[in-house]
Homo-oligomer: A and B are copies of this chain.
């Protein structure tokens, strides 16, 4: 049994990690931690776990961590993570980190978008970007996984085949994405107060969202050249899911049939990516680790649509998929 610690267990991605590990046949929860003011019995903090989990969420103690767990799912916020991760690695655990702290290889970009000095360049270098469909081989041997952002997961899976094959103008990509509200985290705020958010829909972070440089870095890596992406996020009145509608300019003539074939071949053996024959719906992937993709042409442009659950394939599910790979398990355990 893989022994799992969830660091930062009091937020939505923490709860989702707990939910998935609880039904994982070869992993078990051994340690849940959070800030002191957010500690307590897990089934009081999250009543959905009554009768399912009787652990306490405790303040993190590195001495306890050492020897107790094999892997940490580190659900801490940006900037906090890079303070904790070096010590968790020192304690001998593998780490799947949910924050952005180990995603951006260029610390100047990190420091611009996250407004903080990067304090753990040593571990940043060896961190592997945990998108298994693109980087499975590197993930196998990694000690530290930078688990991808929710938006980049959906967007990158939607355009990777086009970038890999060099089919599109690399400065033409527009990603219009809509997330469910769980993406905004568990802290209450006026914007996401039910009577304000219900029956509502709006764009935010216009031209400045932190997931834009992350998308561009990985997209450039896939394409082998500089890729520019205009990424526009929106929030819609539902709990879970991200629908990414991606528009781009083909370099030459393409047909919908060829694109479909390309995507089917590219993702043929992937357990969690499904190529659809029509536009995907977020409800079909809610609560699952699946990504549904549809690609086609219209008006001289390529349109690719992807749907994921932001908390599963966009966070905790993908983290556990990465964990399964690192420990040599069937990649789908706990996620099927």
Determine whether the beta carbon of B48 is less than 8 Å from that of A203. Answer: no
A149-172, CB under 8 A of B: which get 1 and which 0?
Answer: 000000000000000000000000
Tell me how many residues of A have a C-beta within 8 Å of chain B.
77
Q: Which residues of B contact A234 (CB under 8 A)?
A: 178, 243, 245
Beta-carbon nearest neighbor of A241 in chain B: B201
Query: A269-286: contact bitstring with B at CB < 8 Å (1 yes, 0 no)?
Result: 001101010011111111
Cα–Cα distance between A51 and B268 once the two chains are bound (Å): 11
A122 at interface, CB cutoff 8 A: no
Known: A48-B288, A207-B298. A200 touches B283 (CB 8 A): yes
Structural contact, B199 and A239, CB atoms closer than 8 A: yes
Considering only residues 45-84 of chain A, those with a C-beta below 8 Å from chain B are 47-48, 50-52
Partner of A198, one of B22, B50, B198, B247: B198
User: Taking each of A48, A178, A199, which has the highest tally of chain B beta carbons within 10 Å of its own beta carbon?
Assistant: A199
A247 contacts B274, CB within 8 Å?
A: no
Identify which of residues 196-247 in chain A touch chain B, using a CB-to-CB cut-off of 8 Å: 196-204, 206-208, 228-230, 232, 234, 236-241, 243, 245, 247
Is B245 a contact partner of A232 (Cβ separation < 8 A)? yes
- Copies of this polypeptide in the complex: 4
Choose among A178, A202, A286, A287 the residue with the greatest number of B CB atoms under 10 Å from its CB.
Answer: A202
Q: Which 3 A-B pairs have the closest CB atoms?
A: A207-B298, A200-B283, A202-B281
Residues of A whose CB lies within 8 Å of any CB of B are 12, 22-23, 25, 47-48, 50-52, 174, 176, 178, 180-182, 184, 186-190, 192-204, 206-208, 228-230, 232, 234, 236-241, 243, 245, 247, 271-272, 274, 276, 279-288, 290, 292, 294, 296-299, 301, 303, 305, 307, 336
Q: Can you spell out 23 A-B residue pairs with CB atoms less than 8 angstroms apart?
A: A47-B292, A48-B284, A52-B288, A180-B195, A181-B194, A186-B195, A189-B193, A192-B195, A194-B197, A194-B237, A195-B239, A196-B283, A199-B282, A201-B236, A201-B243, A202-B243, A202-B280, A206-B294, A207-B296, A207-B299, A230-B299, A232-B245, A232-B247
